[in-house]
Chain A
């Protein structure tokens, strides 16, 4: 009798706890999605409605016009700077950064793990130090280097300084250390040289790690702000994140908010899609690069 009562009480408490968990998570999801919802809604109304401050909670009928304006001609201070071009610039920047970081990190991790040579550890520590020098703390001198090398307003100047990567090198080094010696011995027995081993054995084994890292680095590249702000002043090379922030100006009510909101949606769609669609790799990449 007593036991049955206790058991029933425990069950009830569990059900109550589960219900609370759902409520809390549901609320969390709503709070997280709310700013996006308002932006989506805003991008479907006309500028006057938003300017008056009457942002409704439901979508309006201006979506096509707003997105067409944003895509083809841009709005606000960036009239004549269509989102299509800025999206392309962002995509080029993000892909160059991701591919560059992965390529040079794979090579250097391979050199550090599979060879013995003088100054090996010195090279490793030189790469490691970059971890402590985010671009934000060396803004002006790095900018001067770019100007001296005549790389201002170029994709090279935009991406090259960002592709050194201690985290990617560390991740690949960690992974290479787990590869069984037998693989190397077998390759050597078959007469495969180091480059052959790298291409035919190491690269295929690294595919998952490359994909996981690629997702993280693509987002890192796409979301760059300070560096493009400094290095690009040619309007045709503007990236979408910086371009969007410039549209806002000082946040006047008279801005063409509908076009700006449409541009905001366009600017966040690619990285959000990458995270949602490649969720497994994204989480793997995130949890393995940081540690």
Chain B
């Protein structure tokens, strides 16, 4: 879609575009190209010589059990965060959509966690689940559950999932509520007159009508769980205990920043980049067309 009436001039628009293009080229395109280039190189242990190794870094990364472990962690982590955050948000949005009093109050009380940084969310949940100072952590231990997320990998995973999903529910809630409120009441009334019970009405009428929203949110939640949760993991578990909560993005950071293994870190970055590009393409190509009622 284009405008008909436009201004003349060639230098001015280029000048207007310059700041954005400069930042994009210097800090996005160039580093991304460098990541691809570095992923094809290998440095010796002393950083003295560099040689071109083709796809060897990728082969090493994919064959590395540590990377596979991180990929498995990421799959468990991302799908749990997305399911939990979407499920809870949908349930709450459906409740809030029933024309009840206090809707605005509930909305305000449910959306503010969006403003809490992932790393701070980690700190809040740590106060609750710390085995010796946390209210819930101590209660669990008192009840005979051996709770210590610093020692037990599954418990650590559970905690980072909760801390990450908690924050994301707000976002999903806003979109689900908007989606529910845009469903014409006449459709629901028609279903009701046909004798469909509320639960049946929800699964056969409401949920299919919400599917574009749900699919969009699924993509957003996956991207969130993949990338934005770095702060949660870094502040809460540092990938531990062992490597139980090390996700792909956390491993890129550890290998690149702590272990200074640039070739491997770059190859991992490129793999993640391919993943994001695929997700973005899926989102733009199929969101509007495929998922329909």
Contacts and interface: CB of A to CB of B under 8 A. Distances in A.
A53 B253 CA distance: 34
A272 interface: yes
A99 interface: no
A225 B231 contact: yes
A245 to B, nearest CB: 4
A51 B127 CA distance: 11
Contacts of A108: 16-17, 19-21
B262 interface: yes
Contact of B23 (A104, A113, A138, A181): A104
B61 to A, nearest CB: 14
B102 A137 contact: no
A189 B192 CA distance: 58
Nearest to B23: A164
B269 A248 contact: no
A274 B115 contact: yes
B130 interface: yes
A249 to B, nearest CB: 10
Contact of B110 (A18, A29, A195, A244): A29
Interface in B191-207: 198
Interface string A26-40: 001100111110110
Given A117-B13, A136-B227, A139-B252, A225 B166 contact: no
Contacts of B107: 279
B265 interface: yes
A18 to B, nearest CB: 5
Contact of B28 (A112, A133, A219): A133
B52 interface: no
A283 to B, nearest CB: 6
A23 to B, nearest CB: 9
A25 interface: yes
Contacts of B30: 141, 145
Contacts of B169: 32
Given A136-B230, A144-B34, A114 B269 contact: no
Interface of A: 17-18, 20-22, 24-25, 28-29, 32-36, 38-39, 42, 50-51, 53, 55, 103-105, 107-108, 110-118, 120, 123, 126-127, 129-134, 136-142, 144-145, 160-161, 163-165, 169, 176-177, 181, 184-185, 188, 193-195, 197, 219, 222-223, 225-226, 229-230, 241-242, 244-245, 248, 250-251, 253, 257, 260-261, 264, 267-268, 271-272, 274-276, 279, 282-283, 286-287, 290-291
Given A141-B266, A184-B3, A241-B120, 7 more contacts: A55-B127, A129-B29, A133-B273, A134-B223, A141-B31, A144-B31, A226-B234
